[in-house]
Amino acid sequence: MQVFDLGSTGPISGLITAREAGLVACQRCGQVHKRDAVYCKRCEGALQSRDTESLQKVWAWLIAGMIAYIPANVYPMLLTSTLVERSESTIIGGVWELIHHGSIGIAIIVFVASVMIPMGKFVAIIYLAVTVQQRSGAHQHGRHKAYEIVEFIGRWSMIDVFVVAILSALVQLNTIATINPGIAAVSFALSVIFTMLSAQSFDARLIWDADRTAG
Amino acid sequence: MTSQPTAMARILSLALTAFIMMIAAVSFPFLTLDAGGLHNATSVIDAVLAFNDGLAIPLAVAVAFFIMVIPLIRLAALIYALGPLVREAPARPGARKAFGLAERLRPWSMAEIFIVGVTVALIKVAGLAAVTIGPAFWAFAGVVIITVLKDQLICRYSIWEALDQSAG
C-alpha cells in the first residue's frame, strides 16, 4: 500500500484527499474505509466518496425554498383583532410595529432572523453551488467556512414561526383581543425547511475538487 | 482531560436531567395572560395547537416535532446508547443506530430557537396585557441550557470509538 506524507503543510494543492488515497470516509462517524466500500461498518450509514447528485438536490430544494419565501412575505403572518380594529401584519409589518413600540433590539432580532438570514442563505447557497459548478479553485477555505455558517445559522430563521405560535396560543381573550396565525407562517416555515434541506444536500467535499478529476 | 467513563457519566446525567425537565416543561402552564378580567393560560402544547385550522395543520405537526418530539427522541436515543458505556458494560443492540439518529436529528431540534421566539412574543404582548411566566417556562429554559452543556461535552468521534470498543 502506498504511504502518503500527510504531515507536509504545503500549499493547498499539496493536500491529498481521501479519494486520491483510495479511501472513503464516513460522513457521519468518521470511520475510513477502502474506496469500494458501500456501507460503513461502524454506523451502518451509506458511504459515498462524492455525492454526484448533490448539486441537483441543492438547486431543487433551494428553488423550492425561494418560491415559498415569496408568499411568506406577501401574505399576513399574524391576524390581530381587538375591540376596535382588525389588523393583519406581514413579516416586515411586524418589524415596523416593534420599532414603533420602541423595541429596537427585538426588531433587529426579528429582522435578522426572518429577512437577513433567509436572504443571506439564498445568496450563499447560490454562490457555493455556482462556484462548484465552475470548478473554481478560489477561496476554498472561505467557501468551506461559508458553508458551515449557512448550515449552522439556517435553523434560527424559525424564530418568527415560534413567535406566531406563542402569540396565537396566548392571546385568545374572546372579544377583547385575539391573535391568529396567517397563512404566511406556513409558507415561511416551509421556506426555512427547504433551505435547510438544500444546505444539508450540499457535499462540501466538492469545494476541494476544483483542480482534481471529480466524478 | 477527564477519563472516558467520567465524561460519559456527565453526558448521561445531563441527558437524563434534560429529559425529565422536558416532561415538566410540556405539562405545566407555560405563560398566563390577564387582560380586562379575562384569563388565558397557555402550555407548550397549546402553542403547537395554535396552528389548528385547515392548511396550517401540517405546521402544527412540524412545530410539535421541532420543539418537543425531536428533542425528546434525541435525549432518549442518547440515554439508550450511552447508558451501558458508563458502567463499562457491552453496548445495547442498536446503540450505534440510536447514536447515529441522535446526531442526525441535531439540526432539527429547535428548543433553543423556541425560547428566543417566546422572548420576542413576550415583548410584543407586554404592552397589551399582564403576562405571568409559569413554571414550565423555567423548565424549558433549563432544558435549553442543559442541552447546550451536554452537546458541548459530546465528542462524537470518541463516542463512536467507545461504541466500537464495546462491540455492540
CB A173 within 8 A of CB B36: yes
Query: A153 to chain B nearest CA, in Å?
Result: 10
CA distance B121 to B115: 10
Average pLDDT of chain B, as a whole number: 84
Q: What is the tens place of the pLDDT at every residue in B119-162? A: 888 888 877 778 888 889 999 999 999 998 988 888 888 888 88
Mutate to test the interface with A, among B63, B70, B124 (most CBs of A within 10 A): B124
| Residue (of A92, A114, A187, A162) closest to B122 by Cα position | A162
- With cell 412545530, the residue in question is B63
- Residue A181 contacts B, CB cutoff 8 Å: yes
Confidence class of residue A9 from pLDDT cuts 50, 70 and 90? very low
Mean pLDDT by 10 residues, chain B (168 residues): 73 92 88 80 84 79 90 92 82 84 88 88 80 89 91 83 72
Query: A70 to chain B nearest CA, in Å?
Result: 17
Domain that holds residue B22: 4-165
CB A41 within 8 A of CB A149: no
pLDDT at position A123, please?
Answer: 92
Domain boundaries, chain A: 1-49, 54-209
Q: What is the tens place of the pLDDT at every residue in A45-56? A: 777 777 778 889
ipTM: 0.85
| Residue (of A87, A98, A94, A101) closest to A160 by Cα position | A94
| Residue (of A178, A115, A4) closest to B128 by Cα position | A178
Q: How many domains does chain B fold into?
A: 1
Confidence class of residue A195 from pLDDT cuts 50, 70 and 90? very high
pLDDT at position A14, please?
Answer: 63
| Residue (of A213, A61, A211) closest to A150 by Cα position | A61
Average pLDDT of chain A, as a whole number: 82
pLDDT at position A8, please?
Answer: 44
Q: Which residue of A has its CA nearest to B121?
A: A163
CA distance A137 to B168: 43
Residues from chain A contacting residue B124 (CB–CB below 8 Å) = 97-98, 101, 106, 163, 167
